[in-house]
């Protein structure tokens, strides 16, 4: 029962999304700068897989507002980190996504 | 997958709003003064982007009561701070906005 | 984007009210006296602005039971303090108002 | 805007009641005795004013089960204490009333 | 406004019950034994008065599943203790009753 | 009002079940072994009485999924322990049962 | 009443699943690597039994989105560990499963 994990095999459940973490861009001119004193620092990433959405009480699905390819801002303290082939990923609930970046 | 962030690219999700923080006006005569002993100090800012609103249980949207351009009072301890091109911004849930300032 | 704040410009959101804090009347004969040992001390104030009420799940508004001009008792530990032109104000949720004083 | 408080001017909001605290009757023969080791000691009082009741989700009122004149047992640790003209009162939510005493 | 309390005057509100605490029977052969290491020790008592039940959202009552005369097991740490005429009583919410004893 | 407790007299309320605790089988070959480092150790027992189920909001009952005679796994830290005639029992909410053992 | 436990006898209740824990694959090239600094480390396992699903308020079942044979990622800190015949298992609520691995 060896499980081989690669990016394409991870399928989030419910309202979760699978996000590739973007390299930190702190202090880049004109780019995002996360102050050290910020209470909750946002992180930037790109969605590589989305869940089918949470089930409503009547059994239907509440489909997600984000999709594969969206760039998103999310709280650094949310979700579960995974390192896969030396890249960093995170599994997030959609509600932990603060904004999309177009 | 370099993500370049500028103010116009940030699109809040759900009931979140993107707010440009106004410079502190402490001790200005006639202006707002935040006492040091206040339990929770309000901050002033201007909304630069709003989310589509939270989804209701029936799938419809609960549209926001605030709009781009509104000046708002919000709790200093709410939301997620972002510094962009040396300006300060905050991503807030609408429920953390205490009042609008006309 | 200078925001000039004065009492008349503050418009509470949702079920919030904007209250001018009455000067403390501790130990006034016949008046209210707040014992030092009280768990939660009530404060007296007058409502100067009210929000439109919380949205119900069906999108309608739950209008407030209080109105501008009402004198109210509220918990000293509730809400957000604001000092404006050397007067003290507080932004409260209606649920933090304990009683009106006729 | 001086607010003069007397018992008859206090009108509780929502499901709150205004109660005049009865003098402690500890160790009175045949009366109530509150053991020192009790986790939560009940207090006795008489209701002097009641709120209109909590609003239901459909906007109607959930009227209170208690009325002015009822003697009640309530938890000593519930509500907000007020001293008025050297008498002790408490503002309680109806749910903090344990029993009426007929 | 002297309030004289006796067992028959206590009328529980909502889903509360008024229970006469049974004397402890620890270590009685064949009887209940409450181990010192138990996380939550049950107590035995007899119901002497019941409330009308909690109001449902539509205003009707959720009548109680227990009645006067029922012997019940309840958590020692639940409710509010009252000593009346040198007997011990407790005011409990019905949900804190673990089982009836027939 | 002496209450004599025996196994057959205990009738759980609501969604509670009355369970006879099975003797610990730690380290038995092929049997269950509970690692010392486990966050929450499951216990094995047999149901000897079940409650009528929780009342739904419309007054009907949500009948239980387990029945008398079922062997169950439950969290060691759930419920209320009772020792009766030198045997160990536990009163559990059905939601604290992890699995049945056929 | 000796209860003999083997994998095939464990039947999860409600929305729980019974999962065989996969051996840790930390630092395997191309495989999953769990950084030591991760807040919440995911674990990999294979589902060997599933519950019937949680009951909805109307008595119907919310069937599970996972099935026997699915490989899943779940939080290391979720659920209840069981060791059976020198293999490690865990009883999880479906909501603690982060993603399936195809």
Task: In whole angstroms, give the CA distance from residue A40 to residue A58.
Answer: 35
pLDDT exceeds 90 at position A30: no
Task: Write out the DSSP string of C82-97.
Answer: EEETTEEEEEEEGGGE
Mean pLDDT of F51-66: 84
The residue that leads in pLDDT, A100 or G23, is: A100
The residue that leads in pLDDT, B71 or D3, is: B71
User: For G13, which of F44, F62, F99 is closest by C-beta distance?
Assistant: F99
Mean pLDDT of B6-20: 92
The sign of the torsion formed by the CA atoms of A3, A4, A6, A9 equals negative
- B12–A99 C-beta distance less than 8 A: yes
Which of B1-10, B51-60, D30-39 has the lowest average pLDDT?
D30-39
* Residue A99's pLDDT band (cuts 50, 70, 90): very high
- B16–A73 C-beta distance less than 8 A: no
pLDDT exceeds 60 at position G102: yes
Mean pLDDT of C72-87: 86
- E3–D22 C-beta distance less than 8 A: yes
User: Which residues, in sequence order, are CB contacts of B81 under 8 Å at separation 6+?
Assistant: A34, A35, A38, A39, A40, A41, B88, B89, B90
pLDDT exceeds 90 at position F90: yes
Nearest CA in chain D to E56: D62
* Residue D3's pLDDT band (cuts 50, 70, 90): low
CA angle D34, D40, D45 (to 5 degrees): 65
C-alpha distances out from residue B68 to B17, B65, C19, E99, Å:
9, 11, 27, 58
Residues making up chain C, counted from first to last: 102
Mean pLDDT of F39-44: 68
pLDDT exceeds 70 at position G86: yes
pLDDT exceeds 60 at position A1: no
Min distance D70 CA to chain E CA atoms (Å) = 10
D and E: touch, per 3+ CB pairs < 8 A? Answer: yes
Look at residue A26 in the predicted model and tell me its pLDDT.
45
Look at residue C54 in the predicted model and tell me its pLDDT.
87
C10 vs B contacts (CB less than 8 Å): 73, 99, 101
Please write the tens of the pLDDT for every residue from D49-99: 999 998 877 777 888 999 999 999 998 888 888 888 788 999 999 999 999
Mean pLDDT of G58-66: 84
Domains of chain E: 12-22+40-97 (2.30.33.40)
Mean pLDDT of C37-49: 75
Nearest CA in chain C to D2: C22
Task: In whole angstroms, give the CA distance from residue F3 to residue E25.
Answer: 9
Min distance F84 CA to chain E CA atoms (Å) = 5
The residue that leads in pLDDT, A18 or C56, is: A18
Tokens of F94: 């059905």
pLDDT in tens, chain E (102 residues): 455 678 888 999 999 999 999 976 544 444 554 444 444 467 899 999 999 998 877 777 888 999 999 999 998 888 888 888 788 999 999 999 999 998
Q: How far is CA F69 from the centre of its chain?
A: 11
Average pLDDT across chain D, whole number: 81
The helix, strand and coil proportions of chain G, stated in percent and rounded to the nearest 5, come to 5, 45, 50
pLDDT exceeds 90 at position F33: no
Min distance D55 CA to chain E CA atoms (Å) = 11
* Residue F24's pLDDT band (cuts 50, 70, 90): low
Look at residue G3 in the predicted model and tell me its pLDDT.
56
The sign of the torsion formed by the CA atoms of G75, G81, G85, G86 equals positive
C99 vs D contacts (CB less than 8 Å): 10-13, 16, 18, 49, 51, 91
Q: From chain F, which residues contact G within 8 Å (Cβ)?
A: 20, 22, 25, 30-35, 38-42, 44, 46, 56-57, 62, 65-66, 71, 73, 75, 94-95, 97-102
pLDDT exceeds 80 at position D31: no
pLDDT exceeds 80 at position C39: no
* Residue A23's pLDDT band (cuts 50, 70, 90): confident
pLDDT exceeds 60 at position C34: no
- Which of C48, C78, C80 best tests the B interface by mutation, with the highest count of B CBs <10 A? C80
Which of A92-101, C46-55, G34-43 has the lowest average pLDDT?
G34-43
**What ipTM was assigned to the predicted interfaces of this complex?**
0.77
Task: Give the number of beta-carbon pairs within 8 Å between F and G.
Answer: 79
Chains that touch E (3 or more CB pairs under 8 A): D, F
- Which of E1, E2, E3, E47 best tests the D interface by mutation, with the highest count of D CBs <10 A? E3
Look at residue B38 in the predicted model and tell me its pLDDT.
42
pLDDT exceeds 90 at position B18: yes
The residue that leads in pLDDT, F75 or A98, is: A98
Contact in structure between G49 and G18 (CB atoms under 8 Å): yes
Reference B45, options B11, B81, B10, B15; nearest CA is B81
Task: Write out the DSSP string of D61-72.
Answer: EE--S--TT-EE
Contact in structure between D60 and D86 (CB atoms under 8 Å): no
Look at residue C25 in the predicted model and tell me its pLDDT.
52
Look at residue E41 in the predicted model and tell me its pLDDT.
61
B/e letters for E6-35, b = 16+ CB within 10 Å, e = fewer, are eeeebbbbbbbbbbbbbeebeeeeebbbbe
Average pLDDT across chain F, whole number: 81
- B62–C82 C-beta distance less than 8 A: no
CA angle E66, E70, E76 (to 5 degrees): 85
SS3 annotation, B52-83: CCEECCCCCEECCCCCCCCEEEEECCCCEEEE
Beta strand extents in D1-102 (DSSP E only): 10-12, 16-21, 32-33, 42-50, 54-55, 61-62, 71-75, 80-84, 87-93, 97-101
Average pLDDT across chain A, whole number: 81
What percent of chain B clears pLDDT 90, i.e. is strictly above it?
Answer: 46
The residue that leads in pLDDT, G50 or G79, is: G50
Please write the tens of the pLDDT for every residue from D51-61: 999 887 777 78
Which of A76-90, F84-98, G31-45 has the lowest average pLDDT?
G31-45
Phi-psi region of C64 (alpha: psi -120 to 50; beta: other; left: phi over 0): beta
Look at residue D67 in the predicted model and tell me its pLDDT.
96
Min distance F43 CA to chain G CA atoms (Å) = 10
Task: Write out the DSSP string of B1-28.
Answer: ------GGGEEE-TTEEEEEEPPP-TT-
Tokens of G52: 């019937």
Look at residue B7 in the predicted model and tell me its pLDDT.
82
pLDDT exceeds 50 at position B1: no
pLDDT exceeds 70 at position G69: yes
pLDDT exceeds 90 at position G48: yes
Look at residue E24 in the predicted model and tell me its pLDDT.
64
Mean pLDDT of C25-42: 49
């Amino acid at each position: 029962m060896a499980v081989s994990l690669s990016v394409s095999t991870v399928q989030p459940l419910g309202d979760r999304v699978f996000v590739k973490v973007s390299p930190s861009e702190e202090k880049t001119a004109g780019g995002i700068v996360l102050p050290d004193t910020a209470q909750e620092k946002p992180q930037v990433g790109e969605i590589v897989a989305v869940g089918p959405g949470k089930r409503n009480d009547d059994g239907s699905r509440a489909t997600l507002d984000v999709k594969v390819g969206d760039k998103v801002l999310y709280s650094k303290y949310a979700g579960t980190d995974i390192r896969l082939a030396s890249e960093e990923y995170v599994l997030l609930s959609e509600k932990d996504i603060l904004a999309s970046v177009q």
